[in-house]
Every structure is written in C-alpha cells, then in structure tokens.
Structure 1
Amino acid sequence: MSIIGARSLVKALTDLDVEVTFGLPGTHTLPVWEALADSGIRVIGVRHERAAAHAADGYARVTGALGVALVTTGPGAVNTLSALGEAQASASPVLVVATDVPSTLRTPGMVRGSLHEVGDQRALFEPLTKAAFTVAHPDEIVSVVRYAAETALRPQSGPVYVGIPADFLGEPVLDGLEPDGVSTSSLEQHPPLASEDVDRARGMLMAAQRPLIWVGGGALRSGAGEAIGILAERLAAPIVTTFAARGIVPPDHPCLASNPVHAPEVGALWDEADVVLAIGTDFDGAMTQNWCMPQPPTLIAINVDAEDAAKNYPPDLLLLGDARQVVEELSLGILPKPGLDELTRRLDDIEVQVRRRVRKEEPHAAEFLSALKETLPEGSVLISDMCVAGYWIGGFYRVSGPRQLVCPTGWGMAGFGFPASLGVGAAGAVRAVCVTGDGGFLTGCGELATAIQQELPITVVIVNDRGYGMLRHDQTNSGFGHYGVDLATPDFVGLAKSFGVYADRVDGFGRAFRRLLREFSRSDEPNVLVVNAELRPPLTIPSRWYRRESLTW
C-alpha cells in the first residue's frame, strides 16, 4: 500500500509519539497541514516561524520530549535560525522540518530563482544545529525523520534540521518501507565505565576534606537530581547549580547552595574546595565570570561529551556516560561522612547574608522574587526572557523542582520568553508564567493571537521600564549616554485587549501586583499583567561580577 510523502512524514511523527507541533503553513507545506488535520497531532499555528522554533524549544525543555517545528521553504526556514541558536546553546532537542524547493526545479550549483529558493538551505542550518539533513528520495522521509529525532534526543541533545523537497510531499511512497539510508545503528554508543576509573573517583571524593558538587543542565536533562542529592549528603558536599540546572534538587535540600556562584559568599565554596565533582556542565563564561574562577586542585567530570567536559576546565578524571547512571554507580560504597549539619548551617548563613544584601541593594527585586514565590500556583512553570527581571529570576528565584524554570541562558536571546511560553502552555503545565521586558515582548507580541486562539494557559508579566533596561544599565556603567535604548512603547493593556486577551496594569511589585498575579495565574485563559517598574540588575551580570580580572563580554 502506498501513501504520499506528506502522510509518511506525519506517520513518522506519530510513530515518534509526537503529540504537538508548532508551525506556520506555506505554499510548499500545504500537503503536510492537510495530512496533520486528521492525524491526532495537535498543531499550534503561530504568527512567525521564529516563534515556532522557540515554542518547540520551550516544549522540549519542560517535557524532556522532542519539540517539533514545521516551516516552509526559504524565508520560513531561515526565520527559525536565531531560535535554533538558543536551542543549540541550551541543548534542547528540537526538530525543525522545512520544505525545500522542488527537486524538479533544482539545478546543482545554480540558483535559478524559483519561489523561496536558497542556494544551499541545509548549509544555513549546519552551524546552529547538532545535525542537518536533506531527504534525497521520497522513500527516505520516514527513516531520515526518525534518525533526526533520535539524534536530537540522544545526549548531548540538541536541535536538528530536516529539509524535504516540496515535490516529495505529493509523491507516492510505500507504507511501512524501511529504505536504505541513515541507520540508527550508527548512533554513538558510550563504552561501559571502567571500574578502576569509578574506584579512583570514589577514592578522591572520600579523601576530600572540602568536596563540592557543581551541577549543570546535562544532569537535569538526565534526571540525576535524586542521585546527586543522595551523594551530596553522603559526602557532606555543597551543591552549586548552573542556571540550566535550577530546580534539580528541592529548594530545602540540606546541601543546596541556593544562590548563584556570582555571590562572593557562594563563590568562596568553590575557592575552598579541594575536590570538585562537575556533573553535566561545560563551565561556560556566564557561570564562571568568563573563566575567572580558579582551576580547582582536583576536578572530576561526569559528561556524555569528552570535549565538552574538558574545553574550559580540564578534568583530572573524566567519567564518560549518562549523569544519573554514573552518579548512582559512583555512590555505591560511599559511606556518610561527618559534617553534614555543619555544612547545612553554613549554607543557611550564606542564604541569610545574600538575601540581606538583595533586600538592601535592590528592595524592589526582593519584593518581586517574594511575590513570585508566594503567589504562583503549585505546578506552574516560570519562563523568563533576557531582561533585568529575567536575570533576577535565573539567579535568585527558588525553583520548586526540575523543569519548572525555563531561561534563555544558553545564547542570551531577548524575545525568547513569550514564544517559548507557548510551548510550555501546550505541554500541559498547570500555568505557564512568562516574565519579560517590554523590549523583548515587542519582538513577538503578535503571538498573543496564537495564545488566545489556542486557549493556552499563559500569564505574561511585562516589566515595563520603557526601554532596554539591561542595555541602559550597561551604557551608564560604561560612562556612555543613553542612546537607542529608550523606547516608545504602546499601551500594552490596550494591545492585549485588541487580541481578545484580558490585561491589566500595576505600578511596582507591591500588594496590587501580588493580588493580580495570584488572580491571573489561576485563570483558565491567557492574560497579560503589565508592571510599570525599573530594576537594577543583579550580581549575575558581567558588569557586577566580583571576579574582575576580565569583564570583556
């Protein structure tokens, strides 16, 4: 029995257990949308292709499943590129499926000028994806899509591009045929851990006087939180998390240093450590203050990627493999060490010191963070944009559990928050609560139409400082005048209501903000809360780093 290529694509997605896709139709992709109509896959139609990729990214981060964006040839495909840069930097398993010009109109080495034609569309995606493929024959659609999905999901996860010539979508293919092509058997398999390496790492940790566990996003994606919590308690070792790993252990865990390493009190834990166990991290510049943190005396790394593990802080010992599995094996035979109560008391003291500093230096930020924690419903997911309020959330918000905070910390992309929240809302979160600045929100405000049409459970909090507040701070800090950063902004409440989205505004983060945020975040419909406020950036931004040998961004 034969089916056409468009239906084989949809069948491949169904077989991969894809439940939701995000996209925008184009003249080349209409057969796909026709095939999706009766497929059982929910299609979230967005207003711009960048939003489709961001939404797929948000969906992937909160579920751990594949996020899928379907876009058309040329301009539609290219519009996803910036969003894929963020997905790549954050290791999000996103699959972008785009049409390409019909194979019958393509002449190798020549751009003939057919509709939406790009000389080499796949080449545009290669620098920003884990892998990029172009389907060479209609019969290969299923196998290539399956392989691409497995590539995206396999650690180190990341975005993958698949291009399909538009004419293939209408061509007959054999249903169930497994054509020759890429094979899943070629996916990399990690060799088993050498027992002597595990024993050596175990011995280093047991002999350590001041061990520290540094936890990155790879550990969160592997589901290693419980195992890390157990190991930390046995070692009486503080846990320091990167932005991408926030929420990996409960906020009341006795070993958790709940504030960012950019606070000197937390940074001292790193400086004092004689053995650091780094799990699922590459020690990027944003977390290490551009690598100004000293190399620890002994560094043990757990990572699925040897190059990633060693590119910034070379480890003395590398344990190559899945974070959860390696940590569980490493914990075997480690008996509880003394000092847990003393460590917990010190971490509590650090918490008091850092919170006191925040209240003194930026009381409005303290009020904002407290309001979020006290009013958002249990099970909600907080999505921040690249803005001053987002920096405060990324570093200082108390995250209740894994995958309950989504931040654009990989590439640092303004305009990520709102479209990513579409994916979070579509994933079934109790509530997706997006905190964005006015500048970032305006890059994708048309997606209000998506939110209302799809009835997504999203609350958008726009912190309106009438400009690019982060850049305004940087100009002031550099001795520059304010140029290009003060914006004419619309009536955001009126704008939202013009889309049929309920909205209101408040001044500051006081009682009125708490009351409305509690009300809005418990609604069944999308809504927008505008807060007229200006915040000073936190310690996590480059100009406020305390390790000041290099502040070159």
Structure 2
Amino acid sequence: MTGARSLVKTLAELGVEVVFGLPGSHGLPIWDALADASAGTAAGIRLIGVRHEQAAAHAADGYARVAGSLGVALVTTGPGAVNALRAVGEAMASASPVLVLATEVRAPQRPQGAARGSHRDVGEQESLFAPLTKATFTVGHPDEIASVVREAARIATRPQSGPVYVGVPAGFLGDPVEVREDTGRPVEPELPLPASEDVERAREALLAARSPLIWAGGGALRSGAGDAVGVLAERLAAPIITTFTARGIVPPDHPCLASNPVHAPEVGALWDEADVVLAIGTDFDGAMTQNWRMPQPPHLIAVNVDAEDAAKYYPPDSLLLGDARQVVEALSLGIPSKPGLDELTRRLDDIEVRVRRRVRKEEPHAAEFLSALKETLPEGSVLVTDMCVAGYWIGGFHRVSGPRQLALPMGWGTVGFGFPASLGVAATGAVRAVCVTGDGGFLPACAELATAIQDALPVTVVIVDDGGYGMLGYGQDAGFGYAGVDLATPDFVGLAKSFGVHADRVDGFGRAFRRLLREFTRTEEPNVLVVGAELRPPLNTSARWYRREERTIGTKYRKGRHHDDHS
C-alpha cells in the first residue's frame, strides 16, 4: 500500500463516487491509483479530467450542491493549486462541501531556511487556502494520509458545510504506508437541540403572532427541512419567503409559498407587515436584503447552527441553535392549525398575478424566456446559472420544482461559475444539467467543452449572447460612463462544433428557441444553444432594488463573512 493508494482507498471508503481534476507530474501516482480499479483501490470512483484547475473546483462545487454530498477536486502543486483558489472562494461563500486535494513540495527537498526554489514550490501553499476554507491540512507523514482525509471530509460536510484543503507532499505518494483497519465513513453526532424552554418561548411567540412569516435560507435546504417548513407554515398560516439558495425547498404549488423574490415590492410587503419572522438557516446577506435596507422585524426568531452568523446583520430576539429540520419539527409540536390559510393562499395567488403582470408589461422578453424554460425543460433537470442577466431572472422568477434543482453563484458572485459547475451537476446523474450563461461568463471556461464531449456529460449550455457584459452595461447606463463592457466574441456555434459538440443559434426566445431547447435537453450528448438576445435586469438585481434608505447596522454585525445563506 502506497500513499497514493491509501488516499484513493480512503476516498472510496468515504463514499466518493466522482473526482474532478487536472494531472500534474507531482500527482500522477494518485491518477494511477484512481485508474487502477483492478487493484481494488478505486472502487468505482469516476475520474473526470478537466482543462483548468478552476473548473475542477467549480465542478466539485456543482456536484456537491446537487448531490448533497462531498465534492472532490484534485489539483497539482503550485500554479495548479493557485488556479483553484477563485472557485474555492465561491464554494466557501455558498457553503459547498468541497474537498480540495493538492500535492505539495516535500519539505526536505528545499535547502534549509529556503522558502522556495524547488519546482512549483510556493512556500506555505496551505496558507493560501486558509482565508477561503473551513480548515486546511498538510499531511506530515505518509501513514497520516488516510486519517487526515477522513477528518477533512468530516469538517467539510459538517454544518455549516464548506470547502477544506488537504496538501499531500508529493514524495509521500510513492512511499509505503502501514495498512490500518478500515474505519469507514465518519459517524457524525447529531447537533444538539436547543433547550426546551427556548423552543417553548419561540413557539409561544409564533402562536401569538398576528402576521407571522417564515424566511427559509440555504441551511434549511441543506438540512432537508423542506417538509417540516411546509407543515409549520400551513399550521401558522404564514407565508414562506425563500432565498436564492433555498429555491425549491417546498413545492411550487405549496399554499404558503411566496414564489417571487422579496425584491418585488408586492412580496416585500409581506416582510414589512410581519410582526414575527422565523428565519431558518440564513445569515440575511446583502443580496437578499437589498444591502440590509429591509427593516428589522418587531420580533425575530433565528434557527441556525452558528450563533455569530445568525446575529451579525439582524439581531434575533430568540436564537435556536441546532439542525434546521430538527428544530422546526420541534417547534411544530403543539402548534394547532391557525385560521387564515385559505385567505393567505388567495393573497399569495394575487401577488403572483400582479408580479407576473408586471414582468410581462415591463420585460416581455424575460417573460417569454421564463415561460420557455417552464414549458420545455425535462422533469428532474437541474438549472445552473452564471452571473448574468438571464441567470438573475432564473434565480428570482423561475419555478423550481424541487430542492437542489437550481445552482447559482450567489455566494461570491463568481462570473464563470455556470458552465464548469454544470459539468459537476451532470456527473451526479441528474436527468439533464442545463447551464444558462452569458457570452462573457462562458468564455473563461470554454475549453471545458472538451471535458463535456470526452466524458459524455449530459449538459445543455444556453449562451445568451448580448455582445458584452449586459449587467454592467445597464449599471453604466444608469449613471456611469460607458466603457469596457462590449465584447468581441467568437462564433460560438463554430467554437462548439470545433470540439465536436453539437450547437445551433437562434435569435430571441420565441418558437425556434423553444423547439431547439426541447430537442437539445432530450438527448444524451452535450450541446450548446446560442441565443441572440438582450434582457433588462430584473428587480432582484442591485441596480433595480426598490428600497432606497439603508438600514443602520452596528459595526459588530458588519464583520461577519459575507456568505449567502450558508448556515
């Protein structure tokens, strides 16, 4: 048993099914061990080779978001590891459990007292990842590889989840290691429930509320709290507002769901009227609260696994620390069904009608786009968006049919996330990964078309080509000089075909778009659909926020990490 085989064996014991990576000379023993299924070490792990390390980490992130399990990125020493940093930052900001495995230069290879000099050495490589991960490790002995990887996986997946870095000195990969008993997957103790008296006080506040409201964030979705949230909302006759990350946590036809974003004034009124807000698994980030312009609720109950994140922007009157699903289930005990559910459903239906009427009147092309997605996408397909105008429309207004069927880079706002993340989504075995990106966001990762075709990943890429950075152009038109946002772009259809990927182009979101989107999303192979169209940004983008006066936030609440609903 070598260090490399020990590493791969441990991944298999942890249940890892897919690894995304780019080979380098220091890490080749790991690739050899992953490929050598006959030796019993790979245990069916699929190795998907990408064209850039950033894509490896984005793909691992996309995989983790949809599979709900550990995503693994394998990168090499020095520049290979550094290339992954940007994508690791997005995973951290969006609480994706990603394990980054990187080779490092073995310390004895350096002259004593020298920081660098060995091939690809960057000195303390681990320290580069420290600000962007939950934890970092550098293996100190070949025998420690298995235990370090197990601990890293435990930390990455434990709430609040996030990426973890493990550096393995390249020389350890070929060294013999002591074979130890297989300890299997780490067994996590359940998070403790809050004190019963705290739960009872929160329950009493909800029962006494005239206008309760439930705000569900990404932590609620990741804990599997959807059913519990839906039941509690119906008993309280309370509307449910979801964050971008939590879209799909309850079915789109749930009688309490406010299906449009809180950035629409009609939905924002629900927040303004609430006398008690139950916030589940959220940190109330700026993108959802219009930079905290939403007023502090008269009474706020927060359910979270992290006390600091729960209180950094909107201090709660009651804090219930624990797993979102378990806490919400505990809250529901003893709460009878309150009157007013039918009245609430009628009001939410009216809000839906008014918001959709506004969209059709003000943004007819966006309404046509959303309608096309609703009518043509296969059941069970997963939408992955980039930071682009079309992606913002999807994040706010697309009807998401279930949890983990939408992935957006709203944590960090990373342009270029969409396409490589959709490769990870496709690798989960989703019915179809459908990536919606802009012409600017697609180009940084266009080389991954080779990955898509080589690994036969079922992904449809919809490139909305408006000739530049449309969101930035809108912002410049609104009050800045106009420069730097128009792009010279390639023939995207020809580019895709040069990789052997089927592609076509249409103008607008009309009948031809619907026909091709239906056709493209019902094939097995990857394909690209280019749409010549311009969309005006939706209400959930900062340039169109309707709240103008910023709420005063104490200094201590501004110091937190700016994650999107990560806990």
* TM tier, smaller: over 0.9
The residue that corresponds to 2:97 in the other structure is: 93
**Are positions 1:22 and 2:20 aligned together?**
yes
Structure 2 Cα separation of the partners of residues 464 and 171 of structure 1: 51
Cα displacement (A) at 1:107: 5.0
**Are positions 1:170 and 2:174 aligned together?**
yes
SS of the equivalent of 2:136 reads strand
Q: TM-score scaled by structure 1?
A: 0.97
The residue that corresponds to 1:289 in the other structure is: 290
C-alpha distance 241-532 of structure 1, shift in aligned 2 (>3 A): same
Structure 1 Cα separation of the partners of residues 111 and 146 of structure 2: 25
Question: Given residue 318 of structure 2, which amino acid in structure 1 is its aligned partner?
Answer: L
SS of the equivalent of 1:462 reads strand
Structure 2 Cα separation of the partners of residues 178 and 270 of structure 1: 51
1:31 is aligned, of 19, 29, 40, to: 29
Structure 1 Cα separation of the partners of residues 551 and 416 of structure 2: 25
Note if contact 1:143-1:178 (Cα within 8 Å) is conserved in structure 2.
Answer: no
Cα displacement (A) at 1:177: 5.8
**Are positions 1:219 and 2:223 aligned together?**
no
SS of the equivalent of 1:164 reads strand
Note if contact 1:4-1:172 (Cα within 8 Å) is conserved in structure 2.
Answer: yes
SS of the equivalent of 2:447 reads helix
Cα displacement (A) at 1:112: 3.5
SS of the equivalent of 2:467 reads coil
Cα displacement (A) at 1:117: 0.3
Deviations 1:269-307 (A, max 9, x none): 000000000000000000000001000000000001111
The residue that corresponds to 1:546 in the other structure is: 546
Note if contact 2:34-2:45 (Cα within 8 Å) is conserved in structure 1.
Answer: yes
- Runs of 4+ in structure 1 off by over 4 angstroms are 187-190, 550-553
Q: Percent identity?
A: 77
Structure 2 Cα separation of the partners of residues 457 and 231 of structure 1: 38
The residue that corresponds to 1:531 in the other structure is: 531
SS of the equivalent of 1:172 reads coil
SS of the equivalent of 2:245 reads helix
Structure 1 Cα separation of the partners of residues 166 and 112 of structure 2: 19
SS of the equivalent of 1:33 reads helix
Deviations 1:27-64 (A, max 9, x none): 00000000000212100000000000000000000010
Question: Given residue 352 of structure 2, which amino acid in structure 1 is its aligned partner?
Answer: E
Cα displacement (A) at 1:549: 1.8
The residue that corresponds to 2:510 in the other structure is: 510
Question: Given residue 239 of structure 1, which amino acid in structure 2 is its aligned partner?
Answer: I
Structure 1 Cα separation of the partners of residues 218 and 116 of structure 2: 44
Note if contact 1:103-1:167 (Cα within 8 Å) is conserved in structure 2.
Answer: no
Structure 2 Cα separation of the partners of residues 108 and 518 of structure 1: 63
More deviation, 146-155/542-551: 542-551
The residue that corresponds to 2:276 in the other structure is: 275
SS of the equivalent of 2:118 reads coil
Deviations 1:485-539 (A, max 9, x none): 1011000000000000000000000000000000000011000000000000001
Structure 2 Cα separation of the partners of residues 188 and 334 of structure 1: 28
1:159 is aligned, of 163, 167, 190, to: 163
SS of the equivalent of 1:251 reads coil
Trace 1:20-99 onto structure 2 (pairs within 5 A).
Answer: 20-37=18-35, 38=37, 39=42, 40-99=44-103
Cα displacement (A) at 1:108: 6.4
Structure 2 Cα separation of the partners of residues 492 and 545 of structure 1: 33
Structure 2 Cα separation of the partners of residues 203 and 104 of structure 1: 63
Question: Given residue 275 of structure 1, which amino acid in structure 2 is its aligned partner?
Answer: V
Note if contact 1:542-1:551 (Cα within 8 Å) is conserved in structure 2.
Answer: no
Trace 1:150-549 onto structure 2 (pairs within 5 A).
Answer: 150-176=154-180, 190-481=191-482, 483-549=483-549
Structure 1 Cα separation of the partners of residues 419 and 550 of structure 2: 33
Higher relative contact order (CA 8 A, sep 6+): 2
Deviations 1:129-176 (A, max 9, x none): 011111111111000000000100000000000000000101110111
Structure 2 Cα separation of the partners of residues 14 and 160 of structure 1: 18
Cα displacement (A) at 1:478: 1.6
Structure 2 Cα separation of the partners of residues 374 and 128 of structure 1: 39
Cα displacement (A) at 1:387: 0.2
SS of the equivalent of 1:104 reads helix
SS of the equivalent of 2:26 reads coil
Structure 1 Cα separation of the partners of residues 182 and 126 of structure 2: 24
Structure 1 Cα separation of the partners of residues 462 and 74 of structure 2: 28
SS of the equivalent of 2:393 reads helix
Q: Which runs of 5+ in 1 are unaligned?
A: none
**Are positions 1:130 and 2:134 aligned together?**
yes
Note if contact 2:438-2:465 (Cα within 8 Å) is conserved in structure 1.
Answer: yes
Structure 2 Cα separation of the partners of residues 369 and 300 of structure 1: 34
Structure 1 Cα separation of the partners of residues 529 and 409 of structure 2: 21
Cα displacement (A) at 1:110: 2.5
Q: Which runs of 5+ in 2 are unaligned?
A: 553-561, 563-567
Cα displacement (A) at 1:441: 0.1
Cα displacement (A) at 1:102: 2.0
Note if contact 2:295-2:551 (Cα within 8 Å) is conserved in structure 1.
Answer: no
Deviations 1:434-491 (A, max 9, x none): 000000000100000000000000000000001111111111112322x111011000
CA root-mean-square deviation = 1.7
Q: TM-score scaled by structure 2?
A: 0.94
SS of the equivalent of 2:268 reads helix
C-alpha distance 107-296 of structure 1, shift in aligned 2 (>3 A): farther
More deviation, 192-201/500-509: 192-201
Note if contact 1:139-1:177 (Cα within 8 Å) is conserved in structure 2.
Answer: no
Structure 2 Cα separation of the partners of residues 218 and 375 of structure 1: 30
The residue that corresponds to 1:120 in the other structure is: 124
Deviations 1:193-220 (A, max 9, x none): 2110111111000000000000000000
Structure 2 Cα separation of the partners of residues 454 and 311 of structure 1: 44
Structure 2 Cα separation of the partners of residues 28 and 255 of structure 1: 54
Cα displacement (A) at 1:190: 4.2
Structure 1 Cα separation of the partners of residues 193 and 348 of structure 2: 36
Question: Given residue 33 of structure 2, which amino acid in structure 1 is its aligned partner?
Answer: A
Question: Given residue 144 of structure 1, which amino acid in structure 2 is its aligned partner?
Answer: V
Note if contact 2:292-2:551 (Cα within 8 Å) is conserved in structure 1.
Answer: no
More deviation, 31-40/270-279: 31-40
C-alpha distance 109-402 of structure 1, shift in aligned 2 (>3 A): farther
Question: Given residue 48 of structure 1, which amino acid in structure 2 is its aligned partner?
Answer: H
Cα displacement (A) at 1:106: 3.3
C-alpha distance 109-311 of structure 1, shift in aligned 2 (>3 A): farther
Note if contact 1:210-1:237 (Cα within 8 Å) is conserved in structure 2.
Answer: yes
More deviation, 376-385/112-121: 112-121
Question: Given residue 450 of structure 1, which amino acid in structure 2 is its aligned partner?
Answer: T
Cα displacement (A) at 1:551: 11
C-alpha distance 407-450 of structure 1, shift in aligned 2 (>3 A): same
SS of the equivalent of 2:284 reads coil
Note if contact 1:227-1:324 (Cα within 8 Å) is conserved in structure 2.
Answer: yes
Structure 2 Cα separation of the partners of residues 107 and 234 of structure 1: 69
Structure 2 Cα separation of the partners of residues 476 and 167 of structure 1: 55
1:10 is aligned, of 8, 11, 26, to: 8
